[in-house]
Structure 1
């Protein structure tokens, strides 16, 4: 690993105990390795979060650019939804 910088970090006793237990169990060679692994996971999480935010921004912009949705009649919507539900229930009943 090039460009390594040593830093000091204060952690709660519980986390230190967990790190040492992982090292003692042979899961990691050192507590530093535990921290590096945690930082890699954190970096991936941050990248995924940034990608999710960008996808939402694009979807939002796409929605805005698509124009007005027009008038919406809730009674008509419910009527059509009930008709569709009835058709599906009838079809499911005929399949038995």
Structure 2
């Protein structure tokens, strides 16, 4: 598998962010600032993928709800009592 060459970018950080990067490198948690940024980007990518999956799940749930038929009026307190009764019945 051929690896693409790394690309150098210039980024701006607050003094606090720069200090935290430096501290992480000096503390041995990371080998370099670039390693920290790559790790942060991997975490961001994972979060974005999770958001996309959650959004797709919500869209499916919405579509299922819309396709389930005519809405029925529900009294919240009565609904909760019914759920509690079902739970007690199951033990």
For structure 2, the residue ranges without an aligned partner over 5 or more in a row are none
2:27 to 11, 25, 35: 25
| Equivalent runs, 1:30-69 vs 2, <5 Å | 30-69=32-71
- 1:10-32 per-residue CA deviation (whole Å, 9 max, x = no partner) reads 01110110000000001100001
Q: Pairwise CA RMSD of aligned residues? A: 2.7
TM-score (norm 2): 0.77
TM-score (norm 1): 0.74
Q: Which residue of 1 aligns with 2:78?
A: 78
Bigger radius of gyration among the two: 1
Instruction: Return closer, same or farther for 1:39/1:80 CA change in 2, 3 Å cut-off.
Output: closer
Superposed structure 1 runs of 4+ greater than 2 Å apart: 77-82
For structure 1, the residue ranges without an aligned partner over 5 or more in a row are 92-96
Q: Which residue of 2 aligns with 1:94?
A: none
Q: Which residue of 2 aligns with 1:10?
A: 12
Deviation at 1:5, TM superposition (A): 1.6
Deviation at 1:2, TM superposition (A): 1.8
